[in-house]
Amino acid sequence: MTARTDKIKTLRERVTSKRVVTTLIIMFALLILIAIISVATGSERIGFQTIVKIIAAKITGQPIDIAPEQQVIITDIRLPRVLMAIVVGAALSVAGAAYQALLRNPLADPYVLGVSTGAAVGAIAATIFAESISIGRPLAAFLGAVLTIATVILLGQSRRHAPTERLILAGIITNTFLSSVVIFLMTSASGLRLQSVFSWLIGDLGSNARLLPVVSVFIVLGIVIIYFNSRSLNLMMTGEEEALALGVEVRRVKAMVYIASSLITGAAVSVSGVIGFVGLVIPHAVRLSAGSDNRMVVPASALAGAIFLLIADTIARTVIAPRELHVGVVTAFVGAPVFVYLLRRAS
Amino acid sequence: MLEVRDIHFSYSEPLLKGVSFDVHQGELLAIVGPNGAGKSTLLKIILGMLRPASGNVTLEGESIAKMSRRKLARFIGYVPQATDVRFPLTAMEYVLQGRFAQGRILGFESDGDVEEVRRAMELTDSTDFACRLVSELSGGERQRVMLARALASRPRLLALDEPVANLDIAHQLKMFDLARRLTSTGEMGAIVVTHELNLAAEFATRVLMLKAGEVRAIGRPSEVMDEKTINDVFDADVLIDKNPVTGAPRITLLATAQEDCSLSRS
């Protein structure tokens, strides 16, 4: 008993700003290291020094004497893809952490709740009907995400409380329905368009580099909004009425966080398609090692999610080279067992 | 300190019909009444969770309708009936939540906050399990942690919603005794919604009896807890005498002859 108490004590000490900052710095350093390794990994072998030189040259605008093919591979193919994995991984993880706190349900995640598919419906509709507007896809995806989460919450509510299973069931039903809508939209699309929609839908991080700046802005903004509410979310995790009595403006926090998490889910989906389980696995792993305080969970999930998706994508593009796996396959292989484990523990 | 004036509230039917009462510093007011009398609704109105259709609640002269959530939270410490913590959270982290209204919306607890938490946990005798997970605590331990969280903000008023509903008799006694001791210093007042008439008679300075949304009686236990009033409020036959040790009213339920509706043919 004492040993156990001590273990919990060491595991879940009070979260202080110093502890958060130290953890985040270590994680950030790890992320940079993995990003460099990832950029170096691929069929064309390029050394670390060369990579650093190319990136430095790209930033400063100085010309360098490195083969232009190598420069193109780094700056136009691998680097955007690595950055995309980082922002999408961060977005999906933080959205998961936020939904879990708001819905008081460790199983909630943009994929399980159907929010990702809802965003996909919006994005596909925009691709088919308004392809010329480049910002149309993220905006339509955001709209799809907001409408979906509203529907799922409505369906998942029972008169008194919202039990875990009911909410997840509502998510599954919504997800199934929206998947049919996706198939319907795709059958009505044709030829080239269909192919581009298809490769995007199952999680391709390489094909939307031009949207990277726009979605990065959305995602960073959304994460900042959620982080700003993280202390309030701590209290809401133990119950909305209690949070209200403790001084949280519950309605305002809910509105802000729902909108922000839908924004980042929509932004992520609009460039990467539907990638499952990231938002489930990462916040869970973070809570397991660092406790449930959202002031730690939100930023640490962002970095851990970035690292996770970056590794997953690097595996996806190298494991059966020269062909590529879709990154969603890799995340599902890790995520589905974790989901089953969490579900069994919850009931 | 707390003034409740002519509160009306209805969902589909009127639930509270003109409720008025006061709570002063140093007082422990027990609100009793049958299920559905409106006790919890009344508590939620005082906590600012529900808005009354008409009437007013003021704390030290200031209407709660005009107060911010945070200000109200600094005034009233709320202990809910039960807490349902689904994420790993230590008792100390839980009690630290009570300091939310004192700090910034985004920020970390100061050493002063931790000191207040230590004080609150000592008052409720819950320091020993500060580092254990709330989900792993027993009912009595959890109730004490919940009370500590309410005390952490040094409120002027404590609002307890059926604090002993899940406790065994020894812990029931401890909880009421603690509530009484906390208020008797005169630093705060307390409202306790409860079904435990005997504990209310023993520990409350005043008892408010609510039935069908109306105040049927309010006053010291010895003044208002008589057989007629309790029978009227609860529709139950009771015998009331004096507790031979403390002299407080002692309520004994009388088993009355029930109508025979057994299926056996006599």
Judged by DSSP in three states, B3 sits in: strand
Domain membership of residue A173 as a residue range: 17-346
Task: Check residue B262 and give its pLDDT.
Answer: 61
Domain count for chain A:
1
Mean pLDDT taken over chain A: 86
Task: Check residue B83 and give its pLDDT.
Answer: 85
In total, chain A counts a number of residues equal to 347
Nearest CA in chain A to B133: A8
Q: Tell me which chain B residues have a C-beta less than 8 angstroms from the C-beta of A106.
A: 86-87
The partner residue sitting opposite A245, judged by closest CB among B47, B89, B114, is B47
Checking if the pLDDT of B22 tops 70, the result is: yes
Q: Tell me which chain A residues have a C-beta less than 8 angstroms from the C-beta of B87.
A: 104, 106, 237, 287, 292
Q: Tell me which chain B residues have a C-beta less than 8 angstroms from the C-beta of A236.
A: none
A35 and A82 Cβ atoms separated by less than 8 Å: yes
Give start and end residues of each alpha helix (H) in chain B: 39-46, 69-75, 91-96, 111-123, 139-151, 169-184, 197-203, 221-224, 227-234
**Structural domain includes residue A81:** yes
Task: Check residue A26 and give its pLDDT.
Answer: 96
Q: Which domains does chain B have, with CATH numbers?
A: 2-60+156-253 (3.40.50.300)
Task: Check residue A76 and give its pLDDT.
Answer: 84
| Section A157-186 average pLDDT | 81
The partner residue sitting opposite B73, judged by closest CB among A105, A247, A293, is A247
What confidence category does residue A10 fall into, taking pLDDT thresholds of 50, 70 and 90? very low
Asked if B89 and A238 come within 8 Å (Cβ–Cβ), the reply is yes
Question: Could you give the CA distance from residue B264 to residue B266 in angstroms, rounded to a whole number?
Answer: 6
Rounded to two decimals, the ipTM of the complex is 0.88
- Using an 8 Å CB-CB cutoff, list residues of chain B that contact chain A: 44, 47-49, 69-70, 72-74, 76, 78, 80, 83-90, 92-94, 96-98, 100-101, 103, 105-109, 114, 131-133, 149, 159
Tokens of A333: 């292989």
Task: Check residue A159 and give its pLDDT.
Answer: 60
| Section B225-254 average pLDDT | 91
| Section B217-242 average pLDDT | 92
List beta partners, residue B159. Answer: B78, B191
Checking if the pLDDT of A161 tops 70, the result is: no
Q: Hey, of A8, A23, A238, A289, which one would you mutate to test binding to chain B, going by the most B CBs within 10 A of its CB? A: A238
Task: Check residue A68 and give its pLDDT.
Answer: 83
Element (H, E) at A173: helix A164-188
The pLDDT tens digits of the residues spanning B38-77 come to 999 999 999 999 999 999 999 999 999 999 999 999 999 9
Judged by DSSP in three states, A164 sits in: helix
Checking if the pLDDT of A2 tops 70, the result is: no
Task: Check residue B150 and give its pLDDT.
Answer: 95
CATH number (domain holding residue A115) = 1.10.3470.10
Task: Check residue A290 and give its pLDDT.
Answer: 86
Judged by DSSP in three states, B88 sits in: coil
Asked if B106 and A231 come within 8 Å (Cβ–Cβ), the reply is yes
Question: Could you give the CA distance from residue B100 to residue B105 in angstroms, rounded to a whole number?
Answer: 7
Tell me how far CA of residue A263 lies from CA of A115, A182, A257, A269, A270, in angstroms: 11, 20, 10, 10, 11
The 8-class DSSP code of residue A73 comes to: I
**Structural domain includes residue A5:** no
Element (H, E) at A141: helix A136-156
Lowest mean pLDDT segment, chosen from A196-205, A249-258, A278-287, B25-34: A196-205
Q: What percent of chain A has pLDDT over 90?
A: 44
Q: Tell me which chain B residues have a C-beta less than 8 angstroms from the C-beta of A238.
A: 83-85, 89, 94, 97
What confidence category does residue A5 fall into, taking pLDDT thresholds of 50, 70 and 90? very low
Checking if the pLDDT of A238 tops 70, the result is: yes
DSSP letter string over A51-62? Answer: HHHHHHHHHH--
**Structural domain includes residue A11:** no
Checking if the pLDDT of A7 tops 50, the result is: no
Which residue, A237, A247, A242, is CA-closest to B44? Answer: A242
Checking if the pLDDT of A302 tops 80, the result is: yes
**Structural domain includes residue A80:** yes
| Section B193-200 average pLDDT | 94
Cα radius of gyration rounded to whole Å, chain B: 20
Lowest mean pLDDT segment, chosen from A98-102, B11-15, B62-66, B179-183: B11-15
Tell me how far CA of residue B126 lies from CA of A4, A8, B12, in angstroms: 18, 17, 42
Checking if the pLDDT of A199 tops 80, the result is: no
Nearest CA in chain B to A245: B73
| Section A17-46 average pLDDT | 91
Q: Tell me which chain B residues have a C-beta less than 8 angstroms from the C-beta of A231.
A: 100, 103, 105-107
Question: Could you give the CA distance from residue B78 to residue B44 in angstroms, rounded to a whole number?
Answer: 10
Task: Check residue A203 and give its pLDDT.
Answer: 64
Which residue, B81, B47, B126, B94, is CA-closest to A237? Answer: B94
Task: Check residue A3 and give its pLDDT.
Answer: 44
Q: How far is B147 from chain A (nearest CA, A)?
A: 12
**Structural domain includes residue A217:** yes
The CB-side HSE value for B142 (13 A sphere, CA atoms) comes to 19
**Structural domain includes residue A3:** no
Task: Check residue A346 and give its pLDDT.
Answer: 59
**Structural domain includes residue A175:** yes
Q: Hey, of B108, B115, B127, which one would you mutate to test binding to chain A, going by the most A CBs within 10 A of its CB? A: B108
**Structural domain includes residue A1:** no
Helix, strand and coil percent figures for chain B, each rounded to 5? 35, 25, 40
Asked if A248 and B69 come within 8 Å (Cβ–Cβ), the reply is yes
Checking if the pLDDT of A83 tops 60, the result is: yes
